[in-house]
Chains A and B, each alone.
Chain A
Amino acid sequence: MSVTRRHFLTLTGGAALAWDFLLAGTPEESPNYKMADHWWGMLIDVTKCIGSGNCVRACAEENDVPDGFFRTWVEHYHVNDWHLENPVVESLDGGMHGFPVVPEGTGKDFFIPKMCNHCADSPCTQVCPVGATFVTPDGVVLVDEKYCLGCRYCIQACPYGCRYLHPTKHVAQKCTLCYHRITKGLTTACCEACPTGARQLVDLKNPKDPIHDFLKTHSVQVLKPHLATGAKAFYNGLDGSVR
């Protein structure tokens, strides 16, 4: 686009403003963010997921996720007829590069994005021997990389397989719900990049949050409810075959 000098000055001013907006600082410094006012979760609408893999790529870039490990990933399910107990599931490279085309056939096909469920009764924080992983007052499960011993007990305790050990830093890592973004009024990288709005951040303490409203008016499920983890990643349209 061609730019006049005046236009350019407006643009740089705008850019500076935008950048300052990004760098609003730490929760304590950011005047607008108070942890006690928020209780974060996520809605994953399975009926909208097209398996683009945008979320996986965006997360990897946003959070410097090492190759071969995943803070979020997408699974492709194929369910034959009524056989809910024997789905065929694949997730090559976590779905980072999308999925191969499948022809129309018998049975159901769908995509399931997975991530840390930021459990309210998190089994991973329960087992951490030193308090290196914890639930923040605003409901996000985080890892303190300066304190983690790398014992891997949390990775064993997570029923959803969302944790991994960083290959060179030797500490446990996982989805942070883009804490560095949501505390500044931005949404998570995966939600930002999702082309169909299948992933939406939700603030369960905000009655005016439209996603919070969605949860109250639709049938939603969580993964592995029998383990009573208090998972806060809610799925709309979750098939019974999903593990």
Chain B
Amino acid sequence: MHPVPFEGFMYPNEVELQWSVLIVLYPFLTGLVAGAFILASLERVFKVDAVKPTYRLALLTALAFLLVAPLPLQLHLGHPERSLEMYLTPHRSSAMAMFGFVYLWYLMAVLVLEIWLDYRRDIVLLAQTSTGWRRWIYRTLTLGSFNLSERSLRIDDKVGWIITVIGIPSAFLLHGYVGFIFGSVKANPWWASPLMPVVFLFSAMVSGIAAVMLLYQFTARIRKTPVDMRCLDTVAKYLFYTFVVDFTLEMLDLIQRIYVADESFRSLDFMVHTRLWMSQVVIQILMGTVAPIAILGLAQVYKLGEAVRRRMYTLAGVLTLIGILAMRWNVVIGGQLFSKSFLGYTTYKMGFATREGLLPAAVLLILPFLILWVLLKLLPPWTEQKV
């Protein structure tokens, strides 16, 4: 009595997929967070001055996405009202349980704290100069501290630096853990791989950098301000390098699988050639990885005009984001399309206006940008130039 069509043999309970498009969204969103933060840390810790114009934008982007990240999970849970149990009685052997704490740590101890410290001077000034309900918001944000002396600002800077240093491994942990949640499932050969956390992490960095790169150009265009090309070129350069590492890792995984050809290989190979052909080979690999790498590589090798470079970066950025979203899809959905008996395949029937359907997924993808817009209005990255 399965409305879902399947072919070959599947264990009877396997025919319907367990994890939906919402679970595809989740690693995509947290990946953007980790990637954006790594970009921000390039300036703060590694003193890559060129990318400074994107620093605050990257942090706010990370925050916007991090705030939305738990929502697809809550929508997916059978009993979201019990989700507090993950914090009250976390099962220490479960990667998913430990992730709840990693998320909380990263949100509170790293991201929010770093943003507050970096913006504190501006918040205090805005608290003193604004009027009406805005004044109350800023006053609350100061958390009672109105001290803007040289010494306190130096302390802000020092503490902020320490937090960023802690924040880098925290960001790695944030998204590496998501990779581990999949990579540690020995029952599923599409997921079980020690490479999984590393691949997830690098693809996260790629997506985060690409997102900030696009947002920087987009916000500059809306505000009608010139784009700092030195900044943009540097961001694109780091995107290119990260992408090369990411692509190498993914190809390594693929080549290893093909060569070793264990019991699952024929079934997985068939799945990639049929059900995952469009999403994996065409969208993820060709359009989403090879093409952006080629475009970015061309910009590195050849001296091209500014307008041309900007268009190339935009195209590469958009293709990258599509490609990384496709990668999440291929991992999550792909891992459930084949039977663990390696004898059959099922199909994913995504609803539209259902709890785990396309519509809520689309809303959750758009929501971070709306939140980012609010954050940009509240804490503009551009009003004050840091001394």
- A residues contacting B by CB (< 8 A) are 67-70, 73, 75, 87-91, 93-94, 114, 123, 126-132, 147-153, 155-165, 169-171, 227, 243
Closest to A172 in B: B78
A123–B86 touching, CB < 8 Å:
no
B187–A147 touching, CB < 8 Å:
no
16 A-B pairs with C-beta separation under 8 A: A67-B1, A93-B1, A129-B85, A130-B82, A131-B91, A147-B82, A159-B186, A159-B340, A161-B11, A161-B12, A162-B11, A162-B13, A163-B13, A164-B13, A171-B79, A227-B187
Q: Which of B18, B336, B343 has the most CB of A within 10 A?
A: B18
The count of chain B contact residues (Cβ–Cβ below 8 Å) is 41
B77–A130 touching, CB < 8 Å:
no
> Smallest CB–CB gap between B16 and chain A, Å?
8
User: Which residues on the B side are within 8 Å of A156 (C-beta)?
Assistant: 18-19, 185, 187-188, 336
Measured in the bound complex, the distance between the Cα atoms of B339 and A73 in whole Å is 16
> Smallest CB–CB gap between B120 and chain A, Å?
36
User: Which residues on the A side are within 8 Å of B340 (C-beta)?
Assistant: 159-161, 243
A-facing residues in B98-119 (Cβ within 8 Å): 100
Decide yes or no: A165 and B18 within 8 Å by CB, A147-B85, A149-B78, A170-B79 being known contacts: yes
User: Which residues on the A side are within 8 Å of B12 (C-beta)?
Assistant: 69-70, 73, 91, 93-94, 161
B97–A171 touching, CB < 8 Å:
no
Decide yes or no: A148 and B9 within 8 Å by CB, A127-B185, A243-B341 being known contacts: no
Query: Which residue in A93, A149, A153 is a CB contact (below 8 Å) of B82?
Result: A149
- B residues contacting A by CB (< 8 A) are 1-2, 9-14, 18-19, 73, 76-80, 82-83, 85-86, 89-91, 93-97, 100, 181, 184-188, 336, 339-343
Measured in the bound complex, the distance between the Cα atoms of B16 and A70 in whole Å is 13
Closest to B86 in A: A129
User: Which residues on the B side are within 8 Å of A159 (C-beta)?
Assistant: 186-187, 340
A70–B78 touching, CB < 8 Å:
no
User: Which residues on the A side are within 8 Å of B14 (C-beta)?
Assistant: 161
B188–A151 touching, CB < 8 Å:
no
Closest to A131 in B: B91
Measured in the bound complex, the distance between the Cα atoms of B231 and A160 in whole Å is 52
B13–A69 touching, CB < 8 Å:
yes
A153–B96 touching, CB < 8 Å:
yes
Measured in the bound complex, the distance between the Cα atoms of B1 and A158 in whole Å is 23
B13–A131 touching, CB < 8 Å:
no
A114–B11 touching, CB < 8 Å:
yes
User: Which residues on the A side are within 8 Å of B341 (C-beta)?
Assistant: 89, 161, 243
Measured in the bound complex, the distance between the Cα atoms of B10 and A67 in whole Å is 17
User: Which residues on the B side are within 8 Å of A94 (C-beta)?
Assistant: 12
Decide yes or no: A89 and B343 within 8 Å by CB, A126-B93, A129-B90 being known contacts: yes
User: Which residues on the B side are within 8 Å of A129 (C-beta)?
Assistant: 85-86, 90-91, 94, 96-97, 100
B79–A148 touching, CB < 8 Å:
yes
> Smallest CB–CB gap between B345 and chain A, Å?
14
> Smallest CB–CB gap between B341 and chain A, Å?
4
Closest to A173 in B: B13
> Smallest CB–CB gap between A30 and chain B, Å?
28
> Smallest CB–CB gap between B343 and chain A, Å?
6
Which secondary structure characterizes the binding site on chain A? loop
Measured in the bound complex, the distance between the Cα atoms of B94 and A114 in whole Å is 26
Measured in the bound complex, the distance between the Cα atoms of B336 and A130 in whole Å is 23
> Smallest CB–CB gap between B221 and chain A, Å?
41
Measured in the bound complex, the distance between the Cα atoms of B336 and A128 in whole Å is 19
A150–B13 touching, CB < 8 Å:
no
Closest to A228 in B: B186
Query: Which residue in A73, A114, A131 is a CB contact (below 8 Å) of B89?
Result: A131
Q: Which of A89, A131, A151 has the most CB of B within 10 A?
A: A151
> Smallest CB–CB gap between B11 and chain A, Å?
3
B18–A130 touching, CB < 8 Å:
no
User: Which residues on the B side are within 8 Å of A151 (C-beta)?
Assistant: 73, 76-78, 96
User: Which residues on the A side are within 8 Å of B78 (C-beta)?
Assistant: 148-152, 165, 169-171
> Smallest CB–CB gap between B25 and chain A, Å?
15
Measured in the bound complex, the distance between the Cα atoms of B91 and A68 in whole Å is 31
> Smallest CB–CB gap between A88 and chain B, Å?
8
> Smallest CB–CB gap between A179 and chain B, Å?
20
User: Which residues on the A side are within 8 Å of B187 (C-beta)?
Assistant: 123, 156-159, 227
B79–A68 touching, CB < 8 Å:
no
Measured in the bound complex, the distance between the Cα atoms of B188 and A135 in whole Å is 22
User: Which residues on the A side are within 8 Å of B10 (C-beta)?
Assistant: 161
Decide yes or no: A149 and B77 within 8 Å by CB, A68-B2, A129-B100 being known contacts: yes
User: Which residues on the B side are within 8 Å of A114 (C-beta)?
Assistant: 11
What 6 A-B pairs have minimum CB-CB distances, sorted nearest first?
Answer: A150-B78, A161-B11, A170-B78, A159-B187, A129-B97, A243-B341
Q: Which of B1, B10, B73, B96 has the most CB of A within 10 A?
A: B96
Query: Which residue in A91, A132, A152 is a CB contact (below 8 Å) of B18?
Result: A152
> Smallest CB–CB gap between B83 and chain A, Å?
6
User: Which residues on the A side are within 8 Å of B185 (C-beta)?
Assistant: 123, 127, 156-157
Measured in the bound complex, the distance between the Cα atoms of B96 and A70 in whole Å is 26
B100–A150 touching, CB < 8 Å:
no
A243–B82 touching, CB < 8 Å:
no
User: Which residues on the A side are within 8 Å of B2 (C-beta)?
Assistant: 68
Measured in the bound complex, the distance between the Cα atoms of B1 and A67 in whole Å is 8
User: Which residues on the B side are within 8 Å of A123 (C-beta)?
Assistant: 185-187
B19–A152 touching, CB < 8 Å:
yes
